[in-house]
Structure 1
Amino acid sequence: MNAIPSKLSLGPVLFFWSRDDILRFYAEAADWPLNTIYLGEVVCGRRQQMRGQDWIALAADLAATGREVVLSCQALIESESDIKRVRKLVDNGELAIEANDLGAASLAREKRLPFVAGPHLNIYNADTLAVMEMLGAYRWLPPVEMSRDTLAGVLAEAHRQQLSMETEVFAWGRLPLALSSRCFTARHYNLNKDDCQFRCLEHPDGLTLSTRDRQGFLAINGTQTLSDGCQTLLPHLRDMHEIGVRRVRISPQSQGTDAVVRAFAQLLRQPEPIDTLLPTLARQAPGELVDGYWRGQAGIRPLEKQHAHS
């Protein structure tokens, strides 16, 4: 039987949820079959229902369950207050961080704190991986648009350079595509960014942006643009293992994350025909199941037909 990645991660919540919802979500996640939990605000510095010390305290509680816990840092640093929030996480003194900005990687190096090189660092080759490893990274995530073949080439070269970083792939969720200094949700409501009234709270999985033909195209999430479709790489787990991927990431959503985690964990624990699990996943997806980027095609391309029926 072909091997598949053996470790399962829960990525940071990309959307703006209330403090109560965040705490409730992670209280439930503490019982899920996960190896690693990432948590922290990645998208917008105005989302402060959970402040830096709150994330650190929550991380300590989750780490007490025996899992690896990583503090994820903001991806677009725009102000001194943003830098202070990153410093707060780096200064936790114990837990690793996920660096989504080179500034966070630099701060981690100063403190000799191990870090995960997040997908927003846009690492496209083994030479850049070597730099990240030199700075202290022990794991990395390829950009979400990287294809299987490109990743295979990067990992083959990394092996030749004797790099030791673990590779984690974004395997489930709306794809985080871009960040902007503009707030798209505020603009949708004809509000200024500095007076957004925190309207993102009304859209716990993002706000769908459709074409004129009413086809879901993108999702807006404050300053972030995501895919409307839901990346689903469950059918490609064996292929991932063959090229050197050992860990897969599930991105949280407001409903059904537990079912997604358990479906992936079931397959990682005991490989079985993929089609027995896909109907469950399709019911939980916030949008159409897609895997185009992995296959070297447009990211919006739906999951291949032999896997997509439900």
Structure 2
Amino acid sequence: MTQLTLGPLLFNWPAERWSDFYARIADEAPLDRVCLGEVVCSKRLPFYADRIPEAIERLQRGGKTVVLSSLALVTLAREQRLCADLAAGEDFDVEINDLTMLAHLAADRDFAVGPLVNVYNEGTLAFLASRGARHVCLPPELPLASVATLAAAGKTRGIATEVWAFGRLPLAISGRCYHARVHGLAKDSCQFVCGEDPDGLPVETLDGEDFLAINGVQTLSFAYAGLLGDIEVLEAAGVAALRLSPQDCDMVAVARLFRETLDGRLAPEAAQEALAGDLPEIVFANGFIAGRPGAEAAGHGWSAA
């Protein structure tokens, strides 16, 4: 059965809201795995780090497997120490988002790989498998043919493959903070202005067209991945899990739509239409999986073309 994963929260939410969000996810969302931890900016972590143990305990009581996610860009000594501390813990699976983490993981330690690691071919998958990777969330820009190839290769090596199915797509991460710069601030004195945009700061082209979203040092797509209508082709391709990325919306309702579709209680096309109806302000796209520009909405039936 295809599993549902909730990826790590990428945005800077207040600590109280962070706790409330995961409490509701633990109690109400039909998810199999939940990834916790700071991926984007280590400066955010102290605001909620002391709340992580309680969230883990509640998520486990809610029947979820908890995975701890690492930083996507490690540049400072204290971030290296964070990686080492994360790798030293043996109670939970670790999801790496930067190959820096491999230096800290024991040779016999199983781990997961996040979508910010460029797993584009069988050779990379084989290398990661040799180091202990057992679950890989593929980069969201891969087309279906590549996903199917990697899913088949993963099965031969004991790796479950996952696809990014909901939420703004991670496109790039930088050592510089555009979010601070746009407010006339430096990265080291950012005043955490990224917290003003719980879904990221939308960016337009010079012609006024919606283009991207900025989340601190991270660049995201403006459109949200919406692959509910593509579940059947993803399952046929051998995908083992779908990833939902937390956004400023009712994520429990989103998870329920995905679960109902995976369970066959809701047709994929009807489910995607219901999702769009619940979130009318959001632009959805599935161009990447259809082998087209990522911002495009390829519609349904593209795989049969």
Alpha-carbon offset, residue 50 of structure 1? 4.0
Alignment map for 1:123-134 (pairs within 5 Å): 123-134=119-130
Alignment map for 1:205-284 (pairs within 5 Å): 205-282=199-276, 283-284=278-279
- For the 8 Å contact 1:43–1:223, the answer to whether it is kept is yes
Superposition CA RMSD, Å: 1.9
* Bigger Cα displacement from structure 2, 215-224 vs 86-95: 86-95
Give the match for residue 109 of structure 2: 113
- For the 8 Å contact 2:227–2:272, the answer to whether it is kept is no
Alpha-carbon offset, residue 52 of structure 1? 4.7
**Does 2:53 match 1:59?**
no
Alignment map for 1:1-310 (pairs within 5 Å): 6-31=2-27, 32-50=29-47, 52=49, 54-110=51-107, 112-159=108-155, 162-282=156-276, 283-284=278-279, 287-304=282-299
Alpha-carbon offset, residue 6 of structure 1? 2.1
Identity of aligned residues (%): 35
- Hey, what's the Cα distance between the residues in 2 that align with 1:296 and 1:209? 24
- For the 8 Å contact 1:230–1:286, the answer to whether it is kept is no
For these two proteins, the number of residue pairs brought into alignment is: 300
Aligned amino acid, residue 66 of structure 2: V
Structure 2 unmatched ranges of 5 or more: none
Question: Normalising to structure 2: TM-score of the pair?
Answer: 0.92
* Bigger Cα displacement from structure 2, 148-157 vs 128-137: 148-157
- Hey, what's the Cα distance between the residues in 2 that align with 1:136 and 1:259? 34
Structure 1 unmatched ranges of 5 or more: none
- For 1:120, what is the secondary structure of its paired residue? coil
- For 2:246, what is the secondary structure of its paired residue? coil
Alpha-carbon offset, residue 254 of structure 1? 1.7
- Hey, what's the Cα distance between the residues in 2 that align with 1:63 and 1:195? 37
Question: Normalising to structure 1: TM-score of the pair?
Answer: 0.91
- Hey, what's the Cα distance between the residues in 1 that align with 2:209 and 2:46? 33
Alpha-carbon offset, residue 105 of structure 1? 2.9
Q: Could you give the per-residue CA deviations for residues 48-97 of structure 1, whole angstroms, max 9, x where no partner exists?
A: 34455543453243223332100011100010111112222222221001
